[in-house]
Structure 1
Amino acid sequence: MDMLDGFILSRIQFAANISFHILFPTITIALGWVLVFFKLSFARTGNEAWMKAYFFWVKVFALSFAMGVVSGITMSFQFGTNWPGFMESVGNIAGPLLAYEVLTAFFLEAVFLGIMLFGFSRVPGWAHTGATILVAFGTTMSAFWILVLNSWMHTPAGFEMRDGVAFATDWFAIIFNPSMPYRLVHMLLASGLTVAFLIASLSALRWLMGDRGEDVRKTLRLGMVMGAVLIPIQILAGDMHGLNTLEHQPAKVAAMEGNWETQSNVPLLLFAIPDEAARENRFEIGIPNGASLILKHHADGVVPGLNDFVAEDGTIQHPPVAPVFWSFRVMVATGMAMLVMSWAALFFMRRGRGIEGLPRIMIWALVPMGLSGWVATLAGWYTTEIGRQPWLVTGVLDTKAAVGDVAPALVASTLIAYLVVYAALLVAYIGTLVYLARRQVGQDHDKTEGRPATGAVQGLPAE
């Protein structure tokens, strides 16, 4: 029982760490390229509003980057403390992939981040723009290598097992494993949507605080254009990713759909309460043939059922149903809210020629939508990672086989400490974003009153 408790607590602890960590790379991956867009737009038009937007959002990037680095360090330690079986079994593959991430991405970011943050008035313009591009490229490469490893854990390829240890036989097959392209595209689009609504959210907040600057108008519109363009692409990418998951991880898809029996004409469940003990759903509300249409593209399509993944001795070989079922629906519902909000906002802005055309209630609604990217990302991550259970590496390494022999009391105490610290840091992070928005409004007000602006970022001119 102690081992079971330690196992569950270790899973919760790692989930808490990775949930906190993923919030910040989700921002920096796309925000780096948005900063490049701001700089290139300024170079092309000479409009100072683009540089003003750059100066504001580079602070958000720096804060997010720092939070991501710190939280990533604590997460990496757990491979050795809580999950030693992971590296013992597949370290020959996981180790080099993590090393590639450090060598090709983190070093690139670390070298050029200082120039990007503090070199605007110290290096030529082309050098500063180049540093910004290289930092953005570094964040993307970091995502690439991490998703290569994560995808390989879902759809392992290019290796062979010798005495319980994985050895690489084909690095090309390992890197470009069957699910990697779909996961990479899905994650990059998720990052773009997270940043789109974060930009729109803080711009809406500044507008509500009285900031009528041209940079606010440009960034709010940019956020909504990004959202309106990216969410349909994400829906298409998600459909393709789902078909790939159906091929390689049918048990996960069965849990996502809450489908117990392999059959045709499976409805798309909008609401249900999965009951694993009774092997059925309660209070189902669904669209007839919907799941078959989405997964097989015709109403008679056969969808796998969860009961196919129960061994003869009664051992459950599919993931927990309720968490996967509901996290998937939270992700989809959040995406639909993004779609409606972005397209509605652009409609009103086009009809009213700018932000003034937006109903005030919509501007208020945009503020909390700044967290929608986080909600969708976490829900999608839970769907993916819980849906892989009971495997840590599908078909290769059982999750229970990788856990370390750590006292449950020790895991519980560190888990509580992590949760307290993460909660405080999350509140501080959001509070700092609000503070930056309020401070920017104050600086703009000082300018309109003829007073000098204060509080410029070191190395950057006062806005």
Structure 2
Amino acid sequence: MTPLLLSRMQFGFVVSFHILFPAFTIGLAHWLAFIEWRWLRTRDDLWRDLYFFWLKIFAVSFGMGVVSGIVMSFQFGTNWAVLSEKAGNILGPLLSYEVLTAFFLEATFLGVMLFGWKKVTDRLHFFATCMVALGTLISTFWIISANSWMQTPRGFTLAADGTFLPADWWAIVFNPSFPYRLAHMVLAAFITTCFVIGGVSAWYLRRGVHAAAGRRMLLHAMAFAAIAVPLQILAGDLHGLDVGEHQPVKLAAIEAHWHESAPGAGTPLVLFAWPDPQAERNDYEVAVPRLGGVILKHEWNGTIQPLTAVPASERPPVAPVFFAFRVMVGLGVLMLLLVLASLWRWWRGSLFDTDSRGGRWLLDGWRWMSASGFVALLAGWYVVEIGRQPYVVYGLLRTGDAVSPNISAAAVLSSLTVYAMAYAVIFGAGVWYLRKLLLVGPVKQPPKDTQGGGKTPARPLSLPDESVDGATPPAVTGGAQP
């Protein structure tokens, strides 16, 4: 349990929590903008009720994302001082731009979005919602740019002491992997939100509550997923080609490709295996000949660099990268199949049929897949971060050389323990409250009164008193999980 190992464990623990909430709020902010736009166009009260329902969930998720982000930023100074010293001239400005352009924008309009319903005009409130959604995208832009630079560093010069000095900010920001990783991340956020909305909707329909809201949410979740999932497959393919060009060792680890293929044999696609790094082979391998070269290189005889082309000290841990990638892809295939099945039943007019076995199975599929976006998101992030090891700045600064030199294992273990305890309390309470909101569901909102009753801002996190079905919500202390 060295300081390096504990620091990596701590960073992995913190970032695993942090990535979930910003990704969810990216998609949720755009969902809220869409809902409010529909309400402005139709003045249908159900759209307004749905807006306030998801606004509560957004507010809680946004708060938890901010908390986890603050904790994560401290680690650069405490645990990764050498990384901060060597790459701070590049990473520091990029992260500062995120604060100046995105966080300030979100902070400015978030208050109007949460509390200004009765204080501003409808169009101004919609503008505030759109600005918050735009702020989430700008934040993603800068964070992914900083992380992508660490994956494919460009636009810098190296000082005599190994410090990275910026030489071309355009090349730094728009480094080779950035466009593909940005598209992949934004689509992942949208897909994650789609399946949460779809899963919650299916849960309501299976319980026989909030039927009108459930049908509307499921229909739009299906429609958005039908666009985003195929686009994500395309973005993933382009990203894979970029990884093969700029990070061939990572791609070899993803495929557990140990040795050079025979001439003209192409590269097989390994569906399942148990990688053995010591023996440099795969046990229990199930592979499809040539298909790997077709997918990874778009060539019938396509080949990729094997892991044995570099020393063992230059290879990432193969097993976690190999399995995490297959979890991500497997969930993506299930998402696509569920969306196609939903489109088929929608075309036949039986999407919301709860009387037939097929209709119930479809709704149960959405329920079971409601958290699939989060799992795929984490799996993909593990592929990206573990796959670039043993480097923190790919090919230039090793992770073992980036850790703080004077930090002790006891100090890192203590902070990790405190973080784990604090996260258990904070995020446990947050998830518990989100569950209560989901159990109550959408509620009827009173008509907007701009003449009176507007002295006290709305309370977006208060639990509702009446459901959209016109009945008192059920008790929120029990019941099945959504």
Do they superpose with TM above 0.5? yes
- Give the CA deviation at 1:266: 1.6
Structure 2 Cα separation of the partners of residues 15 and 9 of structure 1: 10
**What is the correspondence of 1:317-356 to structure 2 with a 5 Å cutoff?**
317-356=314-353
- Give the CA deviation at 1:33: 1.0
Matched, 1:375 2:372: no
Contact 2:441 2:467 in 1 (8 A): no
- Give the CA deviation at 1:222: 1.1
Q: 1:69 aligns with which of 66, 70, 80?
A: 66
Matched, 1:127 2:124: yes
> What are the Cα deviations for residues 370-399 of structure 1, in whole angstroms up to 9, with x where unaligned?
211110000000000001111100122111
**Matched-pair identity in %:** 46
Which shifted more, 55-64 or 263-272? 263-272
Residue of structure 2 equivalent to 1:419: 420
Taking only aligned residues, the RMSD between alpha carbons, in angstroms, comes to 2.1
Structure 2 Cα separation of the partners of residues 82 and 450 of structure 1: 54
> What are the Cα deviations for residues 404-442 of structure 1, in whole angstroms up to 9, with x where unaligned?
132112222322332343344444343333311222268
Contact 1:252 1:387 in 2 (8 A): yes
Q: 1:222 aligns with which of 195, 206, 220?
A: 220
**What is the correspondence of 1:47-196 to structure 2 with a 5 Å cutoff?**
47-163=44-160, 164-196=162-194
Residue of structure 1 equivalent to 2:387: 387
SS for the counterpart of 2:392 is strand
Residue of structure 2 equivalent to 1:300: 301
Residue of structure 2 equivalent to 1:458: none
Structure 1 Cα separation of the partners of residues 127 and 110 of structure 2: 11
CA change 1:347–1:388 in 2 (3 A) is same
Contact 1:349 1:356 in 2 (8 A): no
Structure 2 Cα separation of the partners of residues 257 and 434 of structure 1: 39
> What are the Cα deviations for residues 25-46 of structure 1, in whole angstroms up to 9, with x where unaligned?
1111121111111111112222
CA change 1:114–1:286 in 2 (3 A) is same
- Give the CA deviation at 1:362: 2.6
Contact 1:320 1:386 in 2 (8 A): yes
TM-score normalized with structure 1 length: 0.92
Residue of structure 2 equivalent to 1:20: 17
SS for the counterpart of 1:23 is helix
Structure 2 gap segments, 5+ residues each: 445-463, 475-482
SS for the counterpart of 2:117 is coil
> Larger % of helix: which?
1
Which shifted more, 63-72 or 51-60? 51-60
Structure 1 Cα separation of the partners of residues 429 and 273 of structure 2: 37
Structure 2 Cα separation of the partners of residues 380 and 351 of structure 1: 35
**What is the correspondence of 1:238-317 to structure 2 with a 5 Å cutoff?**
238-263=236-261, 264-310=265-311, 315-317=312-314
CA change 1:423–1:367 in 2 (3 A) is farther
TM-score normalized with structure 2 length: 0.89
SS for the counterpart of 2:88 is helix
Contact 1:209 1:441 in 2 (8 A): no
CA change 1:398–1:447 in 2 (3 A) is closer
Structure 2 Cα separation of the partners of residues 402 and 355 of structure 1: 54
CA change 1:446–1:71 in 2 (3 A) is closer
Structure 2 Cα separation of the partners of residues 199 and 78 of structure 1: 34
> What are the Cα deviations for residues 172-195 of structure 1, in whole angstroms up to 9, with x where unaligned?
111111110000000000001000
Give the partner amino acid of 2:245: E
Aligned residues: 448
Give the partner amino acid of 1:379: A
Give the partner amino acid of 1:56: F
Give the partner amino acid of 1:389: Q
CA change 1:424–1:370 in 2 (3 A) is farther
Structure 2 Cα separation of the partners of residues 388 and 449 of structure 1: 52
Give the partner amino acid of 1:276: P
SS for the counterpart of 2:278 is coil
- Give the CA deviation at 1:451: 6.4
Matched, 1:438 2:436: no
Give the partner amino acid of 1:9: L
- Give the CA deviation at 1:293: 0.8
- Give the CA deviation at 1:212: 3.6
Structure 2 Cα separation of the partners of residues 385 and 243 of structure 1: 17
Which shifted more, 53-62 or 357-366? 357-366
> What are the Cα deviations for residues 332-357 of structure 1, in whole angstroms up to 9, with x where unaligned?
00111111112212322332344126
Structure 1 Cα separation of the partners of residues 469 and 23 of structure 2: 38
CA change 1:447–1:15 in 2 (3 A) is closer
Give the partner amino acid of 1:274: P
Give the partner amino acid of 1:281: N
Contact 2:275 2:318 in 1 (8 A): yes
Contact 2:210 2:441 in 1 (8 A): no
- Give the CA deviation at 1:450: 5.9
Give the partner amino acid of 1:75: M
